């Protein structure tokens, strides 16, 4: 079922879902299952699986370094298919512009269609590690809107090259990213919202937000999006703080603000075990307020670990 159909079917009841990341290359999928198992009692209608960009590695060869490109966490679609099969749950592979040509994307989407995976998150992807700005891959897309267009074209039976005799059209439900505190490269919230509207106009069916720690940021974003004419569901994506280092890392990577009270609580902690507990409690409070506000889904960034997400979900669902 499509994410939007799950939302409709819930008739206003808030759903629980989460995002996982594929294991590092060479690692077993078992650890992922061990972390999904405890969350299945909360009946997630869908689970998102991220895609990692390619990165450069340097291999020493006769005193010189040879630069190679690799993907440290491959297997997004395989994991989606495996989870769908094992848990009978819908899965949402993240599809990126960065690192993929349009042909590779078409190939991936055709695989999704054959597997019965009809939800995808369409994302641009970040700059490659070590590079300051995002550069489009040769033969790939520059912005997520173009990727949404490509997926939407498939939904109408239009493939990349030429007209085909299509008797089995794809029917993808398309999610896109939204930023309550604006995307780090956007010159203003207003211009970022305009770009979001373009993604929706191109065919996006719903939005999932970047993490935020102050619900007002989400509420203001939803209001501003409505004023911009965005009427699709806006799903809040939230993450519990797990280690002290997140205080620096999250603002640095995502350009988001952390509330003073949260910082003060984390500062009081003697170790990361206590920080994890503070993160859980903060996230429960955040989730309760969002739940009372009637958000369609509470979507958690699990980073592949379930103990804290289970503690949060147990207090709510
Ligand atoms: C819910 C969620 C899930 C994510 N999952 C992943 C993942 O699995 N893997 C991963 O690598 N990253 C992931 N990301 C991160 C995402 O790839 C980055 O935030 C990326 O920098 C932007 O992606 P986007 O799809 O929002 O890009 P876009 O919508 O293309 O926007 C990127 C920037 O360009 C601007 N812009 C858009 N269109 C135009 C235009 N026509 N002209 C000029 N400027 C324009 C926007 O305002 C914005 O500043 C995720 C983010 C979120 C919120």
What is the per-residue pLDDT for 62? Answer: 83
Q: Is 106 a residue whose pLDDT tops 80?
A: yes
End-to-end alpha-carbon separation of the chain, Å? Answer: 21
The proportion of the chain whose per-residue pLDDT surpasses 90, expressed as a percent, equals 89
What is the per-residue pLDDT for 316? Answer: 96
Give 133 Cα–ligand 1 centroid separation in angstroms: 12
Give 171 Cα–ligand 1 centroid separation in angstroms: 23
**Opening angle at CA 143, ends 141 and 144, nearest 5:** 100
> For residue range 201-247, what is the model confidence (pLDDT) as tens digits?
999 999 999 999 999 999 999 999 999 999 999 999 999 999 999 99
The whole-number average pLDDT for the span 15-37 is 96
Atom of ligand 1 nearest to the CA of 125: 17
Residue ranges in 228-306 assigned as alpha helix (H) = 246-254, 260-267, 272-292
What is the per-residue pLDDT for 130? Answer: 84
Q: What is the DSSP letter of 65?
A: E
Give 200 Cα–ligand 1 centroid separation in angstroms: 13
What is the per-residue pLDDT for 70? Answer: 85
Atom of ligand 1 nearest to the CA of 184: 49
- Dump the DSSP string for 164-223: ---SS----EEEEEE-TT--TT-S-HHHHHHHHHHHHHHT--EEEEPP-S-HHHHHHHHH
Confidence of residue 26 (pLDDT cuts 50, 70, 90): very high
The proportion of the chain whose per-residue pLDDT surpasses 70, expressed as a percent, equals 100
Render the burial of 120-150: b for 16+ CB within 10 Å, e for the rest: bbbbbbeebeeeeebeebeebbebbbbbbbb
Atom of ligand 1 nearest to the CA of 122: 25
Give 32 Cα–ligand 1 centroid separation in angstroms: 26
Confidence of residue 58 (pLDDT cuts 50, 70, 90): confident
What is the per-residue pLDDT for 284? Answer: 98
Number of neighbouring beta carbons within 10 Å of residue 31: 13
The whole-number average pLDDT for the span 123-139 is 93
What is the per-residue pLDDT for 132? Answer: 87
pLDDT, greater one: 290 or 167: 290
Q: Is 9 a residue whose pLDDT tops 90?
A: yes
Atom of ligand 1 nearest to the CA of 199: 29
What is the per-residue pLDDT for 270? Answer: 97
> For residue range 78-89, what is the model confidence (pLDDT) as tens digits?
999 999 999 999
Q: Which residues line ligand 1 (CB under 6 A)?
A: 50-51, 53, 94, 96, 121, 123-126, 143-145, 177, 183, 185-186, 192, 195, 199, 208, 210, 237
Give 84 Cα–ligand 1 centroid separation in angstroms: 26
The whole-number average pLDDT for the span 140-155 is 98
Q: Is 69 a residue whose pLDDT tops 90?
A: no
Atom of ligand 1 nearest to the CA of 142: 30
What is the per-residue pLDDT for 56? Answer: 83
**Opening angle at CA 289, ends 228 and 227, nearest 5:** 10
What is the per-residue pLDDT for 186? Answer: 97
The whole-number average pLDDT for the span 54-80 is 89
Give 314 Cα–ligand 1 centroid separation in angstroms: 32
Give 141 Cα–ligand 1 centroid separation in angstroms: 12
Contact 93, 76 (CB under 8 A): yes
> For residue range 160-196, what is the model confidence (pLDDT) as tens digits?
987 778 888 999 999 999 999 999 999 999 999 999 9
- The mean pLDDT of the chain is 96
Rg, Å, the chain Cα set: 20
What is the per-residue pLDDT for 303? Answer: 86
What is the per-residue pLDDT for 251? Answer: 96
């Amino acid at each position: 079922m499509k994410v939007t159909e799950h939302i409709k079917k819930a008739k206003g009841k808030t759903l629980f879902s989460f995002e996982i990341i594929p294991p590092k290359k060479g690692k077993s999928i078992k650890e992922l299952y061990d972390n999904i198992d405890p969350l299945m009692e909360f009946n997630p209608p869908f689970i998102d699986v991220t895609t990692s960009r390619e990165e450069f590695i340097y291999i020493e060869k006769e005193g010189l370094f040879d630069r190679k490109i690799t993907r440290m966490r491959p297997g997004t679609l395989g994991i989606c298919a495996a989870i769908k099969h094992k848990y009978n749950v819908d899965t949402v592979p993240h599809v990126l512009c960065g690192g993929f040509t349009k042909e590779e994307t078409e190939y991936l989407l055709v695989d999704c269609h054959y597997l019965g995976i009809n939800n995808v998150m369409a994302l641009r992807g970040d700059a490659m590690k070590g590079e300051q700005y995002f550069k489009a891959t040769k033969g790939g897309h520059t912005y997520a809107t173009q990727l949404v267009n490509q997926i939407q074209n498939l939904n109408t039976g239009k493939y990349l090259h030429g007209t085909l005799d299509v008797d089995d059209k794809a029917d993808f439900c398309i999610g896109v990213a939204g930023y309550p505190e604006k995307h780090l490269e956007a010159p203003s919230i207003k211009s970022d919202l305009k770009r979001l509207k373009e993604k929706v106009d191109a065919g996006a069916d719903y939005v999932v937000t970047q993490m935020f720690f102050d619900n007002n940021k989400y509420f203001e974003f939803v209001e501003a999006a409505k004023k911009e004419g965005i009427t699709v569901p806006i799903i809040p994506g939230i993450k519990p703080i797990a280690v002290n280092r997140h205080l620096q890392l999250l603002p640095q990577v995502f350009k988001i603000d952390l509330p003073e009270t949260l910082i003060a609580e984390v500062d009081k902690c003697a170790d990361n075990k206590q920080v994890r507990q503070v993160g859980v409690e903060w996230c429960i409070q955040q989730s309760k307020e969002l739940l009372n506000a009637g958000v369609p889904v509470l979507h958690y960034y699990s980073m592949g670990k379930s103990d804290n997400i289970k503690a949060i979900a147990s207090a709510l669902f």
